[in-house]
């Protein structure tokens, strides 16, 4: 049963209020597939807003680590007085972990898949979900670039397959990019839209084209920054500083690429390149080489910058150091 909790979304009419409560009667259990950075963030938000959350991963150790991360992130909210200690304990109590998919999804009203950005893996997961979930279950994917229509075509319920693309870090970032597949039912889109709003997010509905909107625009920007570095136009620090101070970006494109993961950036650029068949979307050679060599950014400890555990200092990788102008 969904816990009664005031929504942070300002309801402007009793009709909207009834609509939200009606929607919540339909969604009591949410299963999240994957306990990595995105998966644990999605679990965090759903649990905080009163849903029973089933976290599913193939390794219990990964989920134990995810629960510890959620608890630590909620501690930050408690310190900022945006969450009470009691609410934190209640939210954590709503999360149950599973290593068996059948058990994790048998009561699910909505499933959000947050596995690695790999089309073959996602197709396999959705085939299993289609077979194991109740007929009414909505199957959402947190994919950042892969076709919803293609994923849905491997199920017997393409009308209930939709993209629900959260931004990282999930508890902080307000956007949810909702992607309709060609066959997605309007009722499913409306429910996911309302559900996202209930979570305090701002839902934006877009069509199913490579990269959708967020990464169709963001990834070529990042790729162009990498090309500028590759061609020696400017250094890492200069490129990021120009975009931060000149364009008011909170984080430079190279630092952002490190944060996202260079392997993920490469995968998305590959999807764009293949999807549009346009050379302008080809991943930069430097990006491909860094991924091949294992320099993936924050997750590997080094990308365009070098990351030392416990330090917040932004240090350019020695591989990209250049002359310091005075």
**Structure confidence at residue 15 (pLDDT):** 55
Let me know the angle formed at the C-alpha of 133 by 130 and 136, rounded to the nearest 5 degrees. 95
CATH among 3.40.50.720, 3.30.1600.10, 3.40.50.300, 3.30.70.20 for 14-206: 3.40.50.720
Domain with CATH 1.10.1040.10 in the chain: 215-319
Average pLDDT over residues 213-232: 97
Nearest-angstrom CA–CA distance, 38 and 302: 21
User: Which H or E run contains 200?
Assistant: none
Q: Is the pLDDT score of 19 beyond 70?
A: no
Class of domain 215-319 as given by CATH: mainly alpha
Average pLDDT over residues 316-326: 77
Q: Is the pLDDT score of 81 beyond 90?
A: yes
Average pLDDT over residues 189-216: 95
Q: Which residues are catalytic?
A: 144, 165, 177, 215
Nearest-angstrom CA–CA distance, 98 and 33: 10
Within 204-284, residue ranges assigned H as helices are 214-230, 236-241, 247, 253-260, 262-276
Average pLDDT over residues 313-324: 84
**Structure confidence at residue 12 (pLDDT):** 35
**Structure confidence at residue 24 (pLDDT):** 66
- Return phi, psi of residue 43, to 5°: -60, -45
pTM score, two decimals?
0.87
State the helix-helix crossing angle for 60-79 and 85-93, rounded to 10 degrees. 160
Residue with tokens 């997010």: 201
Q: Is the pLDDT score of 326 beyond 70?
A: no
Structure tokens at 102: 């059948």
Domain with CATH 3.40.50.720 in the chain: 14-206
Q: Is the pLDDT score of 55 beyond 50?
A: yes
Q: Quick: pLDDT tens for 103-152.
A: 999 999 999 999 988 899 999 999 999 999 999 999 999 999 899 999 99
| DSSP assigned state of 301 | T
Nearest-angstrom CA–CA distance, 28 and 131: 20
**Structure confidence at residue 9 (pLDDT):** 34
More confident residue, 25 or 255: 255
**Structure confidence at residue 14 (pLDDT):** 43
Q: Quick: pLDDT tens for 277-314.
A: 999 999 999 999 999 999 999 999 999 999 998 888 99
Mention every residue, 6+ apart, whose C-beta is less than 8 A from residue 149. Answer: 158, 181, 182, 183, 208
């Amino acid at each position: 049963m969904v816990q009664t909790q005031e929504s942070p979304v300002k309801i402007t009419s009793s009709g909207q209020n009834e609509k939200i409560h009606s929607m919540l009667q339909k969604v009591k259990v949410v299963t999240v597939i994957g306990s990595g950075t995105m998966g644990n963030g999605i679990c965090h938000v759903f649990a905080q807003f009163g849903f029973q959350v089933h976290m599913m991963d193939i390794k219990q150790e990964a989920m134990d680590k995810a629960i510890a991360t959620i608890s630590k992130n909620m501690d930050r909210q408690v310190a900022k007085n945006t969450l009470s200690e009691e609410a934190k304990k209640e939210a954590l109590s709503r999360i149950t972990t599973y290593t068996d998919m059948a058990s994790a999804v048998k009561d699910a009203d909505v499933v959000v898949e947050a596995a690695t950005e790999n089309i073959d893996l996602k197709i396999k997961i959705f085939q299993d979900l289609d077979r194991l979930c109740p007929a009414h279950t909505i199957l959402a994917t947190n994919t950042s670039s892969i076709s919803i229509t293609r994923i849905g075509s491997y199920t017997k319920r393409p009308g209930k397959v939709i993209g629900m693309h959260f931004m990282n870090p999930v508890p902080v970032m307000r956007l949810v990019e909702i992607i309709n597949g060609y066959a997605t039912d309007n009722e499913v889109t409306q429910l996911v839209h309302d559900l996202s709003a209930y979570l305090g997010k701002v839902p934006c509905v877009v069509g199913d084209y490579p990269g959708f909107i967020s990464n169709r625009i963001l990834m070529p920007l990042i790729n162009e920054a990498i090309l500028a570095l590759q061609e020696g136009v400017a250094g890492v620090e200069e490129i990021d500083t120009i975009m931060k101070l000149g364009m008011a970006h909170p984080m430079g494109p190279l630092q952002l690429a490190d944060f996202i993961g260079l392997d993920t950036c490469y995968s998305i650029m590959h999807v764009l390149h293949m999807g549009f068949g346009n050379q302008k979307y080809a991943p930069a050679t430097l990006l491909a080489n860094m991924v091949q060599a294992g320099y993936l950014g924050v997750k590997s400890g080094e990308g365009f910058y070098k990351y030392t555990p416990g330090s917040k200092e932004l240090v350019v990788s020695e591989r990209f150091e250049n002359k310091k102008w005075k």
